Structure 1
Amino acid sequence: MRAEGAVSALPAEGPRGACRHAYARKRWGALIPYRFLKCVSFPGTMLSESSSFMKGVLLGGIFCVVVTLLGHVKIGHGTRAHHHEHHHIQAPNKEEVLNLSENERLELSQSIRVYCIILVKPKDIGHWAAVKETWSKHCNKAEFYSSENVKVFNAVVLNTNDMWTMMRKAYKITYERYKDEFNWFFLAYPTTFAIIENLKYFLLKKDPAQPFYIGHTMKSGDLEYVDGEGGIVLSIESLRRLSHVFEDSDKCPEQGGMIWKLSEDKQLAVCLKYTGVIAENAEDSEGKDVFNTKSVNALIKEAMASRPEQVVDGCCSDMAITFNGLSPNHMHVMMYGVYRLRPYGHTYSDALVFLPPAGSDND
């Protein structure tokens, strides 16, 4: 049976001749509309002028081929949609960095300045203390934005318990105070652990004057957003546009005028979408996610269950930037593993050095 023109075996006469005619030009690789199946479902009706056994066999064969190929077309389409579900942005590979001159490396390492925003509430006081004593020291500057005043810790007091309002106020204050001092803005929750040096490495050669923000992207209907659990990074251009759209209550309402309430990370995406800022899923040079919304422990357990033959490779990127869901004690353990534990006798020949800010002991 030929791949093309086989449908022309159907009769053109009679009231159903239009059905045959509409599909005679179709090829088997094309998506055949459902109404064609209705046409061929009743060979006795379509072949009203002949009840030939051979014509019935022919029509039945055509029907089977169409259904089979239709299934392949749908599966193929679904696979392509899966691979293009998100925008992707990757970290540089080692060769890219090694090809830079020493002066270029030094200039790059000094040009990436990260301001860290940690949103906290009094109930988070244990995590608050852990973040203050661990990874936040490695930001060029880190500040805690609290829902209310807490005497034992310094914080920017926002006077609200609503997470979207907290995030909104924190970004607004940040832009007003630091728009000329930093080019990248990292927001995290108190249960997040971040390796700031890996974030800076990821941002090498990324242009902060471009309108995008990065993290672990998710989809909710047509809305693509960065999941706040893994941390959110805005370029200075994104923050600039966000600060402007804050003034438009129709596009970016402070409380929202919906029957249902969006989470703060989704609401942020809605506001940014109006400004042309897109969410980018951050990956290493091998395509693995670097912003993680779960802890190392949880990711390893998942890898052991699904890929026991490659637990570590199946778990996490070597250049991971964040993990989430850590207890205060686990943050200190992570700090030990990331910054203190070293195999004696090994040397590290990274092309770039990101020194912690003055006053940090680098743990």
Structure 2
Amino acid sequence: MAVCLLGAISVLTLVYTQDLVRKQDSFQVPSKVQNRNISGNDVIRKTRVLCLILTSASGQTKMAAVKATWAKRCHKYLFIYGQTEVSQKDESFLYVPVQEGRSHLTAKVRHALEYAYQTYKDSFDWILKSDDDTYVIIENLLYLLSHADSSKPGYLGFHMKTKKTSRTGYMSGGGGYVISSRGLHQLIHVGFQDADCRQDGGDEDVEIGLCLTKSNVSVLNSLDSDGRQTFHPESLLRHLYPPYPKWLQSYSWNQDSANFGSECCSKYSVSFHHISVDMLYMIDHLLYKTKVYDFQKVNDNDKRSVFNPHVVNPAYK
């Protein structure tokens, strides 16, 4: 109970993201925006993201929570199921011919990416791969992506490394990763045609990362200007309050950015992983239904517009 309460209090630190573009100083504004008479907000609004969310027949409660919260802010979303005895008809469900289970996630993601390319390749700028226990702040994702060029091959997320991926690293699958439209094109036509890219097995995020490298898809920086992470493979609580996930320190590509405590996360954080169903709803409510009062941005009329603390009469004398 105390941990859940602490998690709720910790989530309040995210509430400031409502004021998404009030201070756009956390990422460098690209020359394509500076050199044209285009505002940052215009670029954000025009950035289109397709969300591919891995789920399973046993994860219906999580799927429903994601669908009711952050998924609806994607330009389009698909829940990716493997083989199941009972399939439901829903335009947001995609069933791929892959056995369910962690050992088959690589094949599951490959099928989902191939379907996304064949069906929507001209409709989206970026493709997000996420899990059904991840919370994604889509507005912050769009803000980050507005600083990159989807017509160039690239992908980004929480940048990690192992001995197997020591040259370029890979992106954490749990924290979610995003591939540009051009990057997906090269992955389909180069990497997925390479016999060295695994069809299945291994760790999905590592194997897809290796295949993206073989496809000449560049790793893009996702740190903000303060050097803080935007994608997170653990929950906000685990980053803020001990015991900290020390394994992140050894796996993180950016060693200096794997901080914990109050300095853990970017003001414009994009994702957190290992989020329970109740916390999915709680985070969403705090972000979009709760507002932090800003004394510097209101006038006298605003101060009187929300509350009226008049005397409440007794029910009887």
Q: Same fold (TM over 0.5)?
A: yes
Shift of 1:151: 2.7
Matched, 1:239 2:184: yes
| C-alpha separation in 2, matches of 1:303 and 1:254 | 37
Matched, 1:166 2:145: no
> Equivalent residue for 1:156?
94
Conserved 8 A contact 2:125-2:181: yes
Q: Deviations over 1:89-115 (max 9, x none)?
A: xx9626966x96874335312321111
| C-alpha separation in 2, matches of 1:278 and 1:262 | 22
Matched, 1:186 2:121: no
Conserved 8 A contact 1:144-1:155: yes
| C-alpha separation in 1, matches of 2:131 and 2:181 | 20
> Where does structure 2 lack aligned partners over 5 or more consecutive residues?
1-22, 247-258, 299-317
Structural mapping, 1:130-279, within 5 Å: 130-147=65-82, 148=84, 149-151=86-88, 154-160=92-98, 161=100, 162-223=104-165, 224-245=169-190, 247-255=192-200, 261-279=201-219
Shift of 1:237: 0.9
| C-alpha separation in 2, matches of 1:94 and 1:266 | 28
Deviates more, 1:280-289 or 1:245-254: 245-254
Matched, 1:93 2:36: no
Structural mapping, 1:318-357, within 5 Å: 318-344=267-293
How many equivalent residue pairs? 250
Identity %: 27
Q: Structure 1 length normalisation: TM-score?
A: 0.63
Q: Deviations over 1:195-249 (max 9, x none)?
A: 0000111112311122221001111114111110100100011100111135525
Q: Structure 2 length normalisation: TM-score?
A: 0.71
Deviates more, 1:129-138 or 1:246-255: 246-255
Conserved 8 A contact 1:303-1:311: no
Please provide the CA RMSD for this pair.
2.9
Q: What letter is aligned with 1:269?
A: G
| C-alpha separation in 1, matches of 2:198 and 2:164 | 19
Conserved 8 A contact 2:40-2:146: no
> Equivalent residue for 1:122?
57
Shift of 1:348: 7.1
> Where does structure 1 lack aligned partners over 5 or more consecutive residues?
1-90, 256-260, 350-363
Q: Deviations over 1:31-75 (max 9, x none)?
A: xxxxxxxxxxxxxxxxxxxxxxxxxxxxxxxxxxxxxxxxxxxxx
Task: Find the residue that maps to 1:240 and give its secondary structure.
Answer: helix
Q: Deviations over 1:130-167 (max 9, x none)?
A: 10000011111111111135438651111312211110
**Larger Rg computed on CA atoms:** 1
Shift of 1:317: 1.7
Task: Find the residue that maps to 2:263 and give its secondary structure.
Answer: helix
Q: Deviations over 1:149-202 (max 9, x none)?
A: 543865111131221111000000001111111101111010100000001111
| Greater RCO, CA 8 A, separation 6+ | 2
| C-alpha separation in 1, matches of 2:125 and 2:141 | 13
Q: What letter is aligned with 1:206?
A: A
